[in-house]
Structure 1
Amino acid sequence: MFISKPSILSLNKSYFLNPFHLLKKKKSLIFNLFFLLLTISGFSQKKNVSITGKIIESSSNQPVAYATVLLVDVNTKENITGTTTMDDGTFKLQTVVSKFYIEITFIGLKTKRIFDFQQHNGTIDLGNIFLEEDLEKLDAIVVEAEVSKTEFKLDKRIFNIGKDLSSTGASALEVLNNVPSVNVNIEGDISLRGSQGVQILINGKPSIIASDSGNALGTITADMMERVEVITNPSAKYDAEGTSGIINIVLKKEERKGLNGSASINIGDPTNHSFGLSLNRRTEKFNLFSQLGVGYRKLPNNRKNINRDLINNTILESEGTEFRNEKYYNIVLGTDYHINKNNVLTLSGNFAYEIEEQPSETNFSLFDGTERANWKRTEETEATNPKYQYELQYKRDFDDHEDHMLLFSALGQFFGKEQSSDFEDLTLMGADRDAIQKTRTDFKEANYTFKFDYTKPFNEKFTIETGAQYLLNNVSNDFEVQDLVGSDFISDPNQTNVFEFNQNVLGIYGTAAYEADKWGVKVGLRVENTDLETFLVNTNEQNNQNYSNLFPSFHSSYKFNNAYSLQIGYSRRVYRPRLWDLNPFFNIRNNFNIRTGNPELLPEFTDSFELTNIYNIGKASLNFGVYYRYTTNTIERSVSIFENNVNTFKPYNIGTTDAIGIEFNGKYPVAKWLVFNGDINYNAFKRQGDFNGTSIDFNANQWTGKLTSKLGLPADIDFEVTGNYQSDVKTVQGKIAENIFADLGLRKKIIKGKGVLNFSVRDIFASRIRKSETIQEEFYLFNRSLRGRFVTFGFSYGFGKGEALEYSGQRRRR
């Protein structure tokens, strides 16, 4: 604007360094300053023009936040100035230029140019400006796609969502399936490095949207997503509790406005019927979300067991089918209240209710060279499971930096179970084994989590994080077994008790990170104190543990170029025994193969190291990693004790485990209609320790492989087939057999993409069979389990701005 200003900036330094030279040029300097004042005065005579208005989306009649508003010079077509709209869609600009037009743009909406407007007293009020959807432009963007890219950031890999995804309206689940190291099968199950049990975060924190209840992630569309962060070796900021990894979905600030939603209906064989409804309403201040789900399904499980007594030369065989049939109802309600642009308050709740039936029938045969006895055991079990969750969350963003924020959340969860079972043994041949038993379970569990996080970037390179978390877990399990003696049911004192479990974990952490253009380093330390108490009321048995631990973490990365990056990481993790690892009660469905917990179980600790390479070669993405894990107090989950043909197995802490492995995964889009995705993971491990005075030292290895191909067929049909292989693996007492199976799915979009038809088959060849052997000097055990083939057909429909749930056949998880 000030055309004379550059002449001052370009003055030779000698004017200031040499006073004699300055005096000599005094007249010239005074003339230049006088000319500058005249120029400024001339410009100040031009009138300032203020332009205001409000951008509204025509279809929903809702304001458009973060739309781009530009003033463009009529003659040169160059941008004069610009801004983005506020949350309420309003904007304000000022200019001294007289000849310009106004251009308004927003992704997915038609660009609008305004040439005719009236000025009144130095103000141009455009009022409400309506923008329409641009479906043709969206289709064009898909053809001229911008490939999404992966980049390294210290302790994470970041997948920035490109136009090829953000413009198609795909669901978050479909987006995740394009992220290296992450896979989503046709049912919507998410895995990281081939392992499920991934923790999903939204904007860096747990969310009801990312919970296992229902298909909430299907309601997040790609154009709401900014990036996906993959964390395979979490830093000290995250819980020290061991998981297979963390996926953090970061949403854009511009959320969809208006009423959005989707509905889905599914049928399956074996019986798997469900209906789901999702609604979302976004206004200037509130984001209201809700979900409703109902369903009924049957889960058969075919089992076979062989118990062989090598001392007495007897064999007990059992074979039968178990069912888990359940009706379920689920509702989610919540709201985000945007107090202002920096403060958001979220309140959400979830209630679910399940009604279970578990009929089973098992046939037993006893041999000692010839068949000596044969009998049948039947079960009728009924249970009700109420569960609910509620969360209050407050987030504060600061103006000085987009990552400067404070977050506080309070989460409460409850799960209950009232269950009764009737068992009957009926003799078919041999000695009389007729018997009737009953069991009763009254289970209650409450969890409370309070969390505080603070992130402070001091500049674009240096950031610190600090926070704390307090977790309270309280459980009571009243369990009773009764035997029919004569005409009365008598309680069995050896299998009846009240188990109380209380665990409190307090964690405090701090991290510091320095990240330059090419390389970075991040160090952190987490301190956790665990206070655990278990108590068997009837027998007055206690197991109290209180321990504090340090969990350091270190990450560093170096970016050689846009195609190749390298990352190293270290973290110390802990696996605290879960409730069902500690719960001593017996499952007597098959009373010759009994599973129980171990209340004296100790936590296991792991030091984890990894070195990871990532390559981006054209459209292909390749990852290669080497990792090492050292675990103490290793928990072996199925250690068998054999007596009188009865196999009782439970978890024990046995020695240490050294494991070193390599991982390779890659995605390659051969064409727009054909994409391959492969994962291979191999590790060799060494076990050392002893059990009951016997050494269990041995070396072994295992590997898994998966290949997924996605094929785009004519008529807008997507086809997917996945093959899985798991090698056999040696255990402390025996081995687990290899496993190979395949899944397939078909997907067809209809009604201009608003509707989706789904067809999926899990375990096409019914080959997903789990076999295990326990081989000891005194006994031999064989276990076989098969769930069989599952076929599901579904239809989903999205309305408003919502997209159909393309993974409507997702397995409901606990």
Structure 2
Amino acid sequence: MNIRVLLILLFFTAGIWAQNEEILVSGLLVEAETGQPIPYATVVLNDTNANTTISGAITNDQGAFEIKTVQKDFYVEISFMGFKTIKLRDFKVKGREVDFGTIQLYQDSQTLDEVVVRGEVSKTEFKLDKRVFNVGKDLSSTGASALEVLNNVPSVNVNIEGEISLRGAGGVQILINGKPSVLADESSNALGTITADMIQSIEVITNPSAKYEASGTSGILNIILKKEEKQGWNGSVSLNTGIPDNHSIGFSLNRRTEKFNLFTQMGAGYRSLPRDNEAINRNLTNNEVIFSEGENFRNETFFNITLGTDYHLNKYNVFTLSGNFAYEIEDQPSETNFRFFEASNILVSRWMRDETTEATNPKWQYEFNWKKQFKNNEDHTFQLSALGSFFGKDQSSLFTDTTLEGENVDNNQRTATNFQQADFTFKADYTNPLTKEYTIETGAQYVINDVGNDFEVEDFIDGEYVINENLTNDFEWNQKVLGVYGTIAYENKIWGVKGGLRVENTDLETLLANTNEGNSRNFTNFFPSFHTSYTFSEKFSLQAGYSKRIFRPRLWDLNPFFNIRNNFNIRTGNPELQPEFTNSYELTSIYEIGKASMSSSLYHRYTTDVVERVSTFVDNVNFTTPENIGTNSSIGFETNGKYSPTKWLTFTGDFNFNYFVRKGAFEGQIFDFTGNQWSTRLGSKIGLPADIDLEFNGNYRSGFETVQGEQSGFAFLDIGMRKKILKGKIVANLGIRDVFASRIQERFVDQPTFETYNFGRRGRFFTFGLSYAFGKGEAMTYSGRRR
């Protein structure tokens, strides 16, 4: 009896064990069109009879999945956004396993179309003290870099060398998530590593509040990166070439996990930047004239690497540590031809001046940032950051003069430059939304600039080189700026107001070490700001704002020793230069008219101690030096917009006009005059079949009167074409910058005793790039921008 019971129990237990035997379900998910793995797709096992969920999982970085189940009657359902959902019912269990092998998912065109319609067009919206350019599908899916996105923002322009201007003026501050960053510095090659799909929006701040550093009058561009992160491996490889020489290879890699975001970017290349120059120095007292014309090159071999990590300690604390190192090897050959005429157009001498320059430029940056969010509100934050950078230049030049006709004017020279610059920025910001309507901000910033430029000139006399004491010195520049600020804002859905005050103390010292000529300045300034806005409807809003700004002279404005490439046209700095102060007022509107979105501004700026470059004439040599000359009162109007009549055609444009009143005096000469200046830009983007996009950007900048003469206007056209292959995994770019070689710099000086003319032109550039993305990254272009 006991044996029978035992056998029955064993049989029953075996049956239960057999029923609970686990089955392993596995497979690999890929895109049908490209064969690329699909990570983070949803895989669900559903009960065949009850139509309920049994178990589920998501695919890993390589698109693979594994699920265990004890139930035999099930089917598999796989789904991922933008792809058609599939159900797998026809399979067999072999050896307690179901191996589906490689499973292909096809894109759902209807779903994709809906996504494109919702987020296709990048749009600008209005905030209390800024405009926000939201990056839409039209840019985020193109594989463009951050520089290309910036070039699509109204009022912003990026030129051929990657220099960024706002409303036609340079000196723009670039921030990443509201703070200085290795990735935001124009002097490194790192800004090109930010792709369009990483950018949520770009804040355009033309009249900054007291929260921001008071220096610079052009405004601020704040790049806001997306919070969501694509976990896994992402990367891109880029090859570029061009005429004149512009060859580079770049590689970026990004690894994201729940806690860490590890990123690196590296590249190398060679580029050549030619420039045509022409100058005329005319002495009106004795009718002597010196003509000079030539071509110079800046040839650079460069290497660059960026390393960094974001560490998410928890939901409320993120630490960032990153660094960038670059090394450049420069070669700057030039040839300038001179002709010297006496009165009655008599040729006295004709000679050629050759330059051979070699330089090495090491530079690096490092950054630490800690951002803390408080539990009560994600906008309640504290952020602490430190940014350091170094740039060095070890340069030697040899100038050889060869007489070709007439009197002997050979004047061989050589120069040596040892330049070092170290900058440090420490910043703390605290933001607290007290209620839904009231927000306070406070913080501090400390900036240290430490520069040394040891410049030596030697003349070849009687068979040997002798130091020219008049042109040789060691210039030291040390500047420390401490700023603290506070703002308070009230904003509801219709109306808002924000006021603030920033206090900055500047401690500046310059020293010419060889002659012991020093200049020390210490001053404290108050920089108030006020902004208000009113929303009349979803399609029309108004904003008014006021701020006070400062322009502190830069190193090259202060350093009296510079290049002697053309020793009849010498540009020098002025150690006695004082800062500019500007009071800025703006009234801005944003509105929509049909399919067009528009923004217009009326603005007034009043600037004191205006920095102007002034020419003086000694022995037929033109010396150009910055000086503080009087005041500038300008009234301007700017309008810009975007119009998309169809899905495949988009127009963008802006127009800026200002009327100015200049008052001032220099060395007994009165500079009181009025003038105007205007610029316009019109761009179009045309979507062609086969994933081809064409872009045309035309620009015009008018001439304007200066304190001693006038600056000529010019127009230029850029053309670009982009072809996406394999759904954007490969992107080919073809560009022509300055199609007609019409982008020139032309300056006339007309004075009672002399006249000068200076002309410069970079010329036409052709570029071609090919980029490949792997993982879920975007194909991008490695720019390798120069300092």
Q: Same fold (TM over 0.5)?
A: yes
Distance in 2, Cα, partners of 1:496 & 1:475: 17
- Length-normalised TM-score, structure 2: 0.85
**Does 2:212 align with 1:235?**
no
Distance in 1, Cα, partners of 2:28 & 2:312: 20
**Does structure 1 retain, via aligned residues, the 8 Å contact 2:163–2:186?**
no
Equivalent residue number for residue 31 of structure 1:
none
Going from structure 1 to structure 2, the CA distance change for 1:143 and 1:505 (only over 3 Å counts) comes to closer
Letter in 1 for 2:484: I
Deviations 1:459-492 (A, max 9, x none): 1110000000001111111111111122221111
Deviation, 1:253, is 2.5
Q: Which residue, 92, 101, 108 being the options, matches 1:136?
A: 108
Letter in 1 for 2:417: T
Going from structure 1 to structure 2, the CA distance change for 1:527 and 1:112 (only over 3 Å counts) comes to farther
Deviation, 1:321, is 0.8
Deviation, 1:140, is 2.4
Deviation, 1:783, is 0.8
Q: Which residue, 231, 235, 242 being the options, matches 1:257?
A: 231
**Does 2:694 align with 1:722?**
no
**Does 2:220 align with 1:246?**
yes
Written as runs of structure 1 = structure 2, the 5 A alignment for 1:589-668 is: 589-636=565-612, 638-668=613-643
**Does 2:710 align with 1:739?**
no
Distance in 1, Cα, partners of 2:192 & 2:415: 40
Distance in 1, Cα, partners of 2:482 & 2:760: 40
Going from structure 1 to structure 2, the CA distance change for 1:173 and 1:318 (only over 3 Å counts) comes to closer
Secondary structure, aligned partner of 1:144: helix
Q: Which residue, 298, 302, 306 being the options, matches 1:328?
A: 302
Deviations 1:514-548 (A, max 9, x none): 00110100101100000000011111101111000
Distance in 2, Cα, partners of 1:479 & 1:218: 33
Letter in 2 for 1:721: F
Secondary structure, aligned partner of 1:494: coil
Equivalent residue number for residue 521 of structure 1:
497
Letter in 2 for 1:734: G
Deviations 1:437-475 (A, max 9, x none): 111111111111111111011111100000000011111
**Does 2:448 align with 1:472?**
yes
Secondary structure, aligned partner of 2:108: helix
The more displaced of 615-624 and 734-743 is 615-624
**Does structure 2 retain, via aligned residues, the 8 Å contact 1:661–1:683?**
yes
Deviation, 1:243, is 4.3
**Does structure 1 retain, via aligned residues, the 8 Å contact 2:641–2:653?**
yes
Deviation, 1:618, is 3.6
Distance in 2, Cα, partners of 1:112 & 1:235: 53
Deviations 1:241-294 (A, max 9, x none): 114222223233321111111111111111111111111110111101111111
Equivalent residue number for residue 352 of structure 1:
326
Equivalent residue number for residue 555 of structure 1:
531
Going from structure 1 to structure 2, the CA distance change for 1:620 and 1:57 (only over 3 Å counts) comes to farther
Distance in 2, Cα, partners of 1:770 & 1:164: 34
Equivalent residue number for residue 655 of structure 2:
680
Deviation, 1:169, is 6.9
**Does 2:739 align with 1:767?**
no
Letter in 2 for 1:360: S
Distance in 2, Cα, partners of 1:104 & 1:561: 44
- Length-normalised TM-score, structure 1: 0.83
**Does structure 2 retain, via aligned residues, the 8 Å contact 1:563–1:615?**
yes
Written as runs of structure 1 = structure 2, the 5 A alignment for 1:321-470 is: 321-368=295-342, 369=344, 370-470=346-446
Distance in 2, Cα, partners of 1:202 & 1:300: 32
Equivalent residue number for residue 198 of structure 1:
172
Deviation, 1:715, is 2.1
Letter in 2 for 1:812: R
Deviation, 1:190, is 5.1
**Does structure 1 retain, via aligned residues, the 8 Å contact 2:485–2:502?**
yes
Going from structure 1 to structure 2, the CA distance change for 1:775 and 1:170 (only over 3 Å counts) comes to closer
Going from structure 1 to structure 2, the CA distance change for 1:340 and 1:333 (only over 3 Å counts) comes to same
**Does structure 1 retain, via aligned residues, the 8 Å contact 2:281–2:755?**
yes
Distance in 2, Cα, partners of 1:302 & 1:160: 40
Deviations 1:681-704 (A, max 9, x none): 100101111000111111111111
Q: How many residues align?
A: 717
Written as runs of structure 1 = structure 2, the 5 A alignment for 1:2-17 is: none
Distance in 2, Cα, partners of 1:362 & 1:416: 28
Going from structure 1 to structure 2, the CA distance change for 1:326 and 1:710 (only over 3 Å counts) comes to same
Letter in 2 for 1:430: G
Q: Which residue, 267, 270, 273 being the options, matches 1:293?
A: 267
Distance in 2, Cα, partners of 1:187 & 1:715: 31
Distance in 1, Cα, partners of 2:544 & 2:467: 58
Secondary structure, aligned partner of 2:370: strand
Give the root-mean-square deviation of aligned CA atoms. 3.2
Distance in 1, Cα, partners of 2:312 & 2:607: 45
Equivalent residue number for residue 572 of structure 1:
548
The more displaced of 237-246 and 193-202 is 193-202
Deviations 1:652-696 (A, max 9, x none): 000010011000111101211111111111001011110001111
Equivalent residue number for residue 782 of structure 1:
757
Equivalent residue number for residue 274 of structure 1:
248
Written as runs of structure 1 = structure 2, the 5 A alignment for 1:476-555 is: 476-555=452-531
Distance in 2, Cα, partners of 1:238 & 1:356: 36
Deviation, 1:194, is 4.2
Secondary structure, aligned partner of 1:580: helix
Distance in 1, Cα, partners of 2:78 & 2:384: 37
Distance in 2, Cα, partners of 1:560 & 1:208: 40
Distance in 1, Cα, partners of 2:229 & 2:679: 40
Going from structure 1 to structure 2, the CA distance change for 1:777 and 1:587 (only over 3 Å counts) comes to same
**Does structure 2 retain, via aligned residues, the 8 Å contact 1:194–1:679?**
no
Letter in 1 for 2:639: F
Deviation, 1:229, is 2.1
Deviations 1:38-76 (A, max 9, x none): xxxxxxxxxxxxxxxxxx9977999969x9x9xxxxx9x
Q: Which residue, 802, 805, 810 being the options, matches 2:777?
A: 802
The more displaced of 748-757 and 563-572 is 748-757
Deviation, 1:771, is 1.2
Going from structure 1 to structure 2, the CA distance change for 1:811 and 1:628 (only over 3 Å counts) comes to farther
Written as runs of structure 1 = structure 2, the 5 A alignment for 1:311-322 is: 311-322=285-296
Structure 1: state its 5+ residue gaps. 1-55, 70-74, 78-102, 115-130
Distance in 1, Cα, partners of 2:152 & 2:399: 49
**Does 2:283 align with 1:309?**
yes
Going from structure 1 to structure 2, the CA distance change for 1:238 and 1:385 (only over 3 Å counts) comes to same
Deviation, 1:206, is 2.2
Letter in 2 for 1:381: T
**Does structure 2 retain, via aligned residues, the 8 Å contact 1:141–1:167?**
no
Letter in 1 for 2:329: I
**Does structure 1 retain, via aligned residues, the 8 Å contact 2:661–2:674?**
yes
Equivalent residue number for residue 11 of structure 2:
none
Equivalent residue number for residue 43 of structure 1:
none
Going from structure 1 to structure 2, the CA distance change for 1:651 and 1:788 (only over 3 Å counts) comes to same
Deviations 1:350-375 (A, max 9, x none): 00101111111111111112111111
Deviations 1:694-722 (A, max 9, x none): 11111111111111111112222111111
Secondary structure, aligned partner of 1:495: coil
Distance in 2, Cα, partners of 1:442 & 1:455: 43
Deviation, 1:210, is 2.7
Q: Which residue, 728, 731, 736 being the options, matches 1:756?
A: 731
Deviations 1:279-324 (A, max 9, x none): 1110111101111111111111111111000001111111111111
Distance in 1, Cα, partners of 2:543 & 2:85: 42
